[in-house]
Structure 1
Amino acid sequence: MADAQQTVERMQLGLVLQELRSRSGRSQQEAGQAIGRAYVRISQVEHGKGALKQEELVVLLDLYGASRAERETVLALGVQARRRAPRRAYTDVLPDAFQRLADLQANASRIRHYTSGVFPGLLQSAEYVEAVIRACDGVWWDAASGQAETRIAFRLDQQRRALAAQPKSMSFVFTEDALRTVVGSESVMRSQILHVLQLAERHPSTSVQILRSTTVGNPALGGSLIVLDFSNAPRIGYAPTLYGPTTYYDQPADTTSMACAFDRASELALSPAESRALLIESLKEF
């Protein structure tokens, strides 16, 4: 059987199934036998190159000992993965969408991330992460729900996974006002700047650039975007929003434009060496 086109939803389904199988200690051979398929088919699905029938997914979920929430998510992803109708973008409205973004980031070979007014998530120190998320507690979710703690733990784990996973190139561009906007406290800001300097030092394949507030011609002004490239899958683009569901783009017309926007912002930004000097200089303010 020929491989199906890799789409965001098929890649998400595959990564979730791979994680559940690994956690259960089952092999691809065992999974294939459970649904009467060759292990090659399991490999195809786990790499986003196909989908499975609902009844096959149910058998695998039983085999993997999936929780009720995991079963609901996988079955819903399965419906999306089996769709053949063309679509412009994919909006992830399922619970724990941020977890699936982390899966994609961990498996990417290259990450390009532009933000305006805030340090990119993968560059945030633990103190900065907590301050950002605490500011949203009781606003975007019920303070009594315990979501703040869950989101803080997730963000830190997301960073660990992205940095510890397969070697990848990571390029970050953020606007200069992120250095001036106090998040948490001046102490938090100082530790955040030091964290970025240390991170860039420890990971030579990571590029950090700052876009001056006086720069003219920024095509991503006021926005934020993430471009993910994979060694064996199509490029995916993601435009973070302040509130609402997660929307992904995997059509070349969209992802090419998003990559061009990032590259243009990178061209306009200070060089990594100049950005490092500005970070060091900004420490004097805190």
Structure 2
Amino acid sequence: MGRVRQTLERRQLGIALRRLRVDSGRTRQEAADRLGKVRSRIAELEDGKSTIAPTDLAALLDYYEVGSDERSTVLALAAEARKRQPKRPYTDVLPRSFQRFADMEASALRVRSYEASIVPGLLQSRDYVRAVMSDGDGVWWTASSYEVEQRTAARLERQARFLESSEAREMHFIVTEEALRAVVGSVKIRNGQLAHLAALVRERPQLQLQVLPAGSGNPARGGGFTLFDFGDRGVPVGFCSATFGPSTYFDGESDVELLHRAFQRLTGSSLNTAESLALIEGISEE
């Protein structure tokens, strides 16, 4: 292992290895002992500040008892991480891209997210999640009730991993009024989602929710984006999702600044939290 520039690929690899280590019940010291390294090397690897030799990576994956599917993806990601990457947006085309997004989300100390046509995934109720997955059934994957349930469970697990973390996090979400009024599944499910949002805001003081009223100026009408801040662990990262195909990450200063500017404009155009709650309750009562 050797210290290197922290790139998105190396950060994704490190975050994935941290999750796999924690899931296996191993400590950083135990992982270091397994490789004959000092503990700080494992910390640098998990922070994306160090590379790892293929033989050492294989030994770690054996030690963490990683299954064949995820193992092949991690090995492919490691191959990308070892390349000398220029500063540029990173398009994640490897398998299990959603897992890497969830890993990055779970490692962030501050998350700011804007969604144009749907309630953000972290704030979705169980019934709303299932309705969203059912809408995609037979379109984005072969029709399967089992697949719908698996994807629903994965999203709920992602929520628990982030929202129930013992680590202090800041959360700021902006959602459009159109997304709140949209009927997903049924009016009953939509109203249950609105009640779920109101309860989350009241129960979690670290959660800031704003609604962008219909007819407001909107510099991001084309789709949603997320900003991740990591404190001293690394530079901020922007994420832009796609309905179909790979999503894109940005860690260049100028690119992230554009997303920050858009979020600031949306913040200024949106209702404050109290006004947003009043609108949410008003839609439900209609």
Q: TM-score range by the shorter chain?
A: over 0.9
1:55 equivalent in alignment to 2:55: yes
Task: Tell me if structure 2 keeps the 8 A contact 1:137–1:143.
Answer: yes
Which residue number in structure 2 is paired with residue 186 of structure 1?
187
**Rounded Cα–Cα distance in structure 2 between residues aligned with 1:222 and 1:25:** 42
Q: Deviations over 1:21-66 (max 9, x none)?
A: 2333333233223333222111110112112011211111122221
| Structure 2 gap segments, 5+ residues each | none
Q: Once the 2 structures are TM-superposed, how far is the Cα of residue 145 of structure 1 from its aligned partner?
A: 8.1
Give TM-score, length-normalised by structure 1. 0.94
Q: Once the 2 structures are TM-superposed, how far is the Cα of residue 95 of structure 1 from its aligned partner?
A: 2.0
Give TM-score, length-normalised by structure 2. 0.94
**Rounded Cα–Cα distance in structure 1 between residues aligned with 2:84 and 2:179:** 42
Task: Tell me if structure 2 keeps the 8 A contact 1:53–1:78.
Answer: no
**Rounded Cα–Cα distance in structure 2 between residues aligned with 1:102 and 1:271:** 28
**Rounded Cα–Cα distance in structure 1 between residues aligned with 2:31 and 2:117:** 46
**Rounded Cα–Cα distance in structure 2 between residues aligned with 1:180 and 1:24:** 43
Moved more, 33-42 or 205-214: 33-42
1:76 equivalent in alignment to 2:53: no
Which residue number in structure 2 is paired with residue 196 of structure 1?
197
Aligned length: 284
Which residue number in structure 2 is paired with residue 245 of structure 1?
246
Q: How does 1:1-286 map to 2 (within 5 A)?
A: 3-144=3-144, 146-165=146-165, 166-216=167-217, 218-231=218-231, 232-285=233-286
**Rounded Cα–Cα distance in structure 2 between residues aligned with 1:147 and 1:246:** 21
Q: Deviations over 1:81-109 (max 9, x none)?
A: 11113041112222221111111111111
**Rounded Cα–Cα distance in structure 1 between residues aligned with 2:6 and 2:223:** 27
Task: Tell me if structure 2 keeps the 8 A contact 1:14–1:46.
Answer: yes
Q: Once the 2 structures are TM-superposed, how far is the Cα of residue 2 of structure 1 from its aligned partner?
A: 7.4
Three-state SS of the structure 1 residue aligned to 2:175 is: strand
Three-state SS of the structure 2 residue aligned to 1:80 is: helix
Task: Tell me if structure 1 keeps the 8 A contact 2:113–2:227.
Answer: yes
**Rounded Cα–Cα distance in structure 2 between residues aligned with 1:129 and 1:7:** 32
Three-state SS of the structure 2 residue aligned to 1:263 is: helix
**Rounded Cα–Cα distance in structure 1 between residues aligned with 2:57 and 2:112:** 33
Three-state SS of the structure 1 residue aligned to 2:194 is: helix
**Rounded Cα–Cα distance in structure 2 between residues aligned with 1:224 and 1:25:** 35
Give the letter aligned to residue 280 of structure 1.
Answer: E
